[in-house]
Structure 1
Amino acid sequence: LWDWISSFIALGPDLNTVMGIAFDHKSETPGLGARITEPTVQQRYVGKEIYNDQGELVSISMVKGEGNAGLTEHQVDGMSGATITGKGVNAMLENYLTYYQAFMEKRKSNKTASL
């Protein structure tokens, strides 16, 4: 919302499943958007997947609100009062994962070819 948001993401050997994620920010609102740095928010991403069943990169979306039922493997609960920050996180992840898409797909195809 107010300035940059950054992230580190760790993927499992399948280059699909999130093993961990860490967010940082310059000036999000304390108690609202700044919650992206809290372990409880970051833990929501662990076990989620960035590719769908068809092998398409779909990223992970933070949805509006908390306590949402029926989230998919590509969705995490949002943060109440921080919808704009959530949208920024979503755009950042989608954008930067796209930069690494060719690398990840090449690694996956090389792994499959060597089996």
Structure 2
Amino acid sequence: MGIQTPTELLDGTVLAILDKQDLYGYALTKEVQRHVSVSESTMYPVLRRLEKGAELTTYSEPFEGRVRKYYRLTAGGKQHLTVIKSDWENFATGINAILGEQK
């Protein structure tokens, strides 16, 4: 049994990756999966939610006869990422103290 990734941390993971570069859905999913155990079917609702919340925008680019939908972080997404990072630091510090793994 593994620890399930809370929604806010999954959002933070996506936002942090997109803070470095724009990515299309499949590439973004694979990058998230390198760090967090998450299914492809979980990722697209996350992306839709972040887009609806104006934390991401999208644009399309042609690729080998198809069109790829790329995701880009917005100013609102950057602000949310800052909040998530701060919340994570506080949370991780507390849990590490309880579990005896202080920095």
State the TM bucket, normalised to the shorter chain.
0.3 to 0.5
Kindly indicate which of the two structures has a greater share of residues assigned to helix: 2
Give TM-score scaled by structure 1 length: 0.36
Higher relative contact order (Cα pairs below 8 Å, separated by 6+ residues): 2
Give TM-score scaled by structure 2 length: 0.39
